[in-house]
Chains A and B, each alone.
Chain A
Amino acid sequence: MQLTGAQIVCESLLQEGVDTIFGIPGGAILPLYQTLPEYPGLKHILVRHEQGAAHAADGYSRVTGKPGICWATSGPGATNLVTGIATAAMDSVPMVVITGQVKRSAIGSDAFQETDITGITLHITKHNYLVLDAADVATTIKEAFHLATTGRPGPVLVDIPKDVQEELTEFEYPSEVKIEGYNPTNEGSAVMVRRAAKLINEAKRPVILSGHGVILSGAYGELISLAEKAQTPVIATLLGISSFPEDHFLYAGWPGMHGMAYSSLAIDESDLLIAIGMRFDDRITGDTSKFAPNAKVIHMDIDPSEIGKNINVDVPIVGDAKHILRQLIPLIEETSRVDWINRVETLKSEHPLIGVNDTDKLIPQFVINELYKATNGDAIVVTGVGQHQMWAAQYYKFNEPRTLVSSGGSGAMGFEVPAAMGAQLGRPDKTVWSICGDGGFQMTMCELATLAENKIPVKLAIINNGVLGMVHQWQESFYNKSYVATEYSANPDFVKLAEAFGLLGVRVSEKSEVAAGIAKAMDFDGPALIDFVVEEQENVYPFIPSGMSVADMIEGSQREKIRQ
């Protein structure tokens, strides 16, 4: 059967099980849009800015495990996607991104809305394609999905010129895909797995470091089995949060720059790090020469280039977390590490987070804790980037996989609103809370219109301190309180703004109003926004300054000292 390139794109997306696409039309992608009515199985969400489309596809993927789909037109449409693509690439999120391109004969002529988007996204995609023949569209889409979802997942971009979308060709969707030279390793090397088991069995003070890879491979059950059999505390990375239930007695928080002090201290005292699907980011290690000085390292990752990249590794195991753990668990001897587990418990009790009731003022930590209580810990929490992100990760308790959605590696402010939109569309059965900073919120708040238009019932909590909080904190600590360009003198009235967009708007300024405000938003049938007007001068603790070590950690109990 002869189909146009545009029809082939839609047919292929259906074959891949796609149901939702985020995008905005434009000249070079119009043939694709004009074909959409023929494919009612493809639900299109018209966002207000292409960055929102990319973040929404990302949020959709993070909560469902399926690849997220977004598309945009050539030129500015495509370049507006870039922040969202880079965010997905840094956090290994599978996405297929389609862009319209000027017609083939115009490529290279600086035509209207022409941008070399494959060139621009060369290093922020897992791979990208410029399709120059309609006959290649089906194979390319098939390959794009295969690459995005296998091995270390990531975004794949397919750029399709307008006349390729219009060109007629024979359609047959390939049943399988074979890409020469692309064979991700799933099974771990048996020799390395045996060596790892030996180290684990001999270790006195082991800790597991559980990263995003555990979630991406769905190795939750295996992780619990390993932790329980080896009686080993589990420390998550920021993106590994929710890979292991926080109410499990072996859970030991998340470490690093703003992680729990006890997690960083446990790593410091450990004699063996069992790293699974994580990459020793600088926010975790700080000064690598002082990181886990007494520990040997087992590093399991599906991406060989991560092993030995940031820290030296004693036992490297390349493969998929789930496969490797299944190989490893039978070799682990049942042990009880009572002394070590007690030691970690002592660290927890001696180094707690700041209490949410430390003050009568409305502090962000209190708000997050109330959100946790009001949702019984059952919501999906989407955050932006900065102080509120750290507090959300510290004070909400995540017990179910894929319930924290946050921009980790890229640290993209503005992620919170569109990613929450995508998360809600991916998981309509769940309550989705977007915890926003007042800075990041204003970067992508145009998507409130999309929420209202499509009746997507995301609840938004703006942690409004009137400053770019994290940068403000750095200025306070390292730049002698010289607050350059971090204080907003005129934020909009967020309640009126919500109402103008068609959302319910609620303002909360006192501790006593918090529970009622949350209840009002949750009872509302539709998207709702709460403007939490919180203390400006609240900082995130613990705090290990950039490039330093656990010895330089500033804990919450020392915060008054820092102020002076």
Chain B
Amino acid sequence: MILNTNQSHRIVTALVKDKPGVLARISGMFRRRGFNIKSLVVGQCELPNKSRMTFVVEGNDKTVEQVTNHLYKLVEVIKVNDISDQNLVERELALIRVKTNSQTRSEIMQIVDIFRAHIVDVANDATIVEVTGNELKVNSLQKLLEPFGILEVMRTGTIATSRGLQK
């Protein structure tokens, strides 16, 4: 395949039927065709019996064209959009469980404040930080919290939608 020149990340969304096995078909297609996906998020949407997926795909326009065409080949995929070039809002949510003691707690809270993140659970020895934002923001916060000792990071992967009336 003529893929993977001029590497970058592209964001593709897809409207799919909410049926058993849809996720297996889609993830299997990515594996079989050798497409690299950085993240894949699926959830219910505004339409009954349908789900919307957001993929972050590694590759260029050509890769995305192939990804789009191969997604369309799956009967349960209804609509595919490459929204990378649109004015869009990208968000990811992360829960970061970080080691905490009485000496570090206030510093962690300061960092969390700067990132407009939240502390959603405090224990004697650990704190759970919830952060939403684009991938870069989540990466940055994660990096700043690392010196305190990160116990676990749970990230949702990116979801995205375009601004305004665009479909």
Contacts and interface: CB of A to CB of B under 8 A. Distances in A.
A147 B15 CA distance: 20
Contact of B66 (A126, A308, A311): A308
A303 B73 contact: yes
Interface in A101-120: 118-119
B105 interface: no
Nearest to A307: B69
A225 interface: no
Interface stretch (B25-33, B106-114, B127-135, B152-160): B25-33
Contact of A123 (B2, B28, B66, B79): B28
Q: Classify chain B: how many residues form its interface, as a range.
A: 20 to 34
B1 A305 contact: no
Contacts of A308: 2, 62, 65-66
A312 B66 CA distance: 12
A181 B79 contact: yes
A147 B74 CA distance: 11
B1 A119 contact: no
Interface in B16-32: 17, 21, 24-25, 28-29, 32
Contact of A181 (B1, B21, B69, B78): B78
A307 B70 CA distance: 11
A182 B17 CA distance: 12
Interface string A118-136: 1100110011000000000
Contacts of A1: none
Main secondary structure of the interface of A (DSSP, over half): loop
Contacts of A127: 74-75
Contacts of B77: 181
Give the one of A305, A308, A310 with max B CB within 10 A: A305
Interface string B1-45: 110000000000001010001001100110010000000000000
Contact of A182 (B24, B65, B69, B75): B75
A46 B61 CA distance: 51
24 contacts: A118-B21, A119-B24, A123-B28, A123-B32, A127-B74, A181-B17, A181-B72, A181-B76, A181-B79, A182-B75, A303-B73, A304-B69, A305-B70, A305-B72, A305-B73, A308-B2, A308-B62, A308-B65, A308-B66, A309-B1, A309-B2, A309-B66, A310-B2, A312-B2
Interface of B: 1-2, 15, 17, 21, 24-25, 28-29, 32, 62, 65-66, 69-70, 72-79
Interface of A: 118-119, 122-123, 126-127, 147, 179-182, 303-305, 307-312
Given A123-B32, A180-B78, 13 more contacts: A118-B21, A119-B24, A122-B21, A122-B28, A126-B75, A181-B17, A181-B79, A304-B72, A305-B69, A305-B73, A309-B66, A310-B2, A312-B2
